[in-house]
């Protein structure tokens, strides 16, 4: 794995092609072997290739949860934990991959928020009972934060709702986890049914104005039923569409780390804590805070 940059004129190597055992840059045709060393320069065949004509390697690469994680430099935090992914009894799947104009930090800020549920998600799980945000307080450990919300959820896929044995609107214990990264972990606990859902949102800035969103899902009450798993994924896709419907209407897709730029309430404590975390990290790296 190499950085997406040719050492010659900085062209993105992802635009190139694989030629046998070599990677060829699309801009000037330079070729590099599996060690990252330049082996062919078409503009001057037979000439000595500069020793600096080699590709930059990232600090680390690891495959986890079915995704490839790349750290160009020494990372501040580890790959986010997603304990439900490997836990016994959980069906694990990815929802539909999405590209969006919403900013990656904007998406993280949304996924950490709990006050928008009754309004943005009216057609899926939202309920007026969740309008008041009840949270247990932000907990911080190093560069990671989390909060637990005692809220309400319209549990439309509980099979006992149709029979009248369970109410559709049910209590939910919701844990949201963030870090100095563009990922958010959620654990949704349902006391009425005993079900647990784990979600890991991974937001990757692709280029200015384009973010890739990977949504990893794990659930322990589907028993491997393919039809129910497919319906679960479809529902989660619809929930993300609801979020994007509002986020993509913003005139700006960034998130201010200057807390004076917007008005906050107690319900915003987790997303505010994440912005503070981000500001600290930027200041530590010598960037604007």
The rounded distance, in Å, linking the Cα atoms of 66 and 93 is 9
pLDDT at residue 74, rounded to an integer: 84
Q: How confident is the model at residue 132 (pLDDT cuts 50, 70, 90)?
A: very high
User: What is the percentage of the chain residues whose pLDDT exceeds 90?
Assistant: 83
Nearest partner of 121 among 27, 29, 242, 216, judged by Cα: 242
Contacts of 100 (CB under 8 A, 6+ apart): 107, 210, 211, 213, 244, 247, 248
For 178-190, the three-class secondary structure string (H helix, E strand, C coil) is EECCCEEEEEEEC
169-222 residue pLDDT tens: 999 999 999 999 999 999 999 999 999 999 999 999 998 899 999 999 999 999
Counting beta carbons within 10 angstroms of the beta carbon of residue 60, is it exposed (0 to 12), middle (13 to 18) or buried (19 or more)?
A: middle
pLDDT at residue 247, rounded to an integer: 98
The rounded distance, in Å, linking the Cα atoms of 70 and 86 is 21
pLDDT at residue 70, rounded to an integer: 84
Query: Angle between the 104-111 and 269-284 helix axes, to the nearest 10 degrees?
Result: 140
Question: Is pLDDT of 98 > 50?
Answer: yes
Residue carrying structure tokens 């501040």:
76
Question: Is pLDDT of 166 > 70?
Answer: yes
For the chain, how far is it from start to end, CA to CA, in angstroms?
Answer: 31
pLDDT at residue 287, rounded to an integer: 61
Q: How far is CA 278 from the centre of its chain?
A: 15
pLDDT at residue 73, rounded to an integer: 81
pLDDT at residue 285, rounded to an integer: 75
Cα torsion angle, 25, 29, 35, 37, sign: negative
User: Kind and range of the H or E element at 64?
Assistant: strand 60-64
The rounded distance, in Å, linking the Cα atoms of 38 and 165 is 68
Question: Is pLDDT of 131 > 50?
Answer: yes
227-249 residue pLDDT tens: 999 999 999 999 999 999 999 99
Q: How confident is the model at residue 61 (pLDDT cuts 50, 70, 90)?
A: confident
65-79 residue pLDDT tens: 999 898 878 888 899
113-127 residue pLDDT tens: 999 999 999 999 999
Domains belonging to the chain, first-starting first, are 1-57 (2.102.10.10), 78-284 (3.90.380.10)
pLDDT at residue 75, rounded to an integer: 86
Q: What is the mean pLDDT of residues 2-9?
A: 89
pTM value?
0.85
């Amino acid at each position: 794995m190499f950085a997406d940059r040719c050492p010659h004129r900085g062209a993105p190597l992802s635009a190139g092609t694989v030629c046998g055992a070599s990677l060829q840059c699309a801009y000037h045709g330079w070729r590099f072997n599996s060690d990252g060393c330049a082996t062919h320069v078409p503009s001057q065949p037979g000439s000595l290739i500069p020793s600096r004509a080699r590709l930059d390697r990232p600090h680390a690469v690891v495959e986890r949860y079915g995704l490839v994680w790349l750290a160009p430099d020494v990372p501040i935090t580890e790959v986010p934990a997603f304990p439900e992914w490997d836990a016994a009894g959980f069906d694990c799947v990815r929802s539909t991959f999405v590209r969006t104009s919403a900013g990656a930090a904007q998406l993280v800020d949304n996924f950490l928020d709990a006050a928008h549920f009754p309004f943005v998600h009216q057609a899926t799980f939202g309920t007026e009972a969740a309008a008041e945000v009840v949270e247990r307080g932000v907990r911080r450990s190093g560069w990671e934060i989390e909060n637990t919300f005692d809220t309400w959820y319209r549990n439309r896929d509980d099979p006992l709702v149709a029979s009248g044995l369970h109410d559709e609107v049910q209590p939910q214990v919701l844990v949201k986890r963030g870090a100095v990264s563009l990922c958010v972990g959620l654990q949704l606990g349902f006391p009425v049914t005993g079900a647990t859902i784990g979600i890991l949102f991974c937001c990757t800035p692709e280029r200015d104005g384009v973010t890739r969103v990977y949504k990893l899902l794990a659930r322990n009450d589907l028993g491997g039923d393919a039809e129910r798993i497919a319906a679960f994924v479809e529902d989660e896709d619809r929930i993300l569409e609801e979020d994007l419907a509002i986020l993509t209407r913003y005139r700006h897709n960034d998130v201010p780390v200057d807390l004076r730029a917007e008005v906050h309430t107690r319900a915003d404590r987790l997303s505010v804590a994440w912005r503070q975390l981000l500001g600290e990290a930027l200041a530590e790296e010598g960037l604007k805070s």
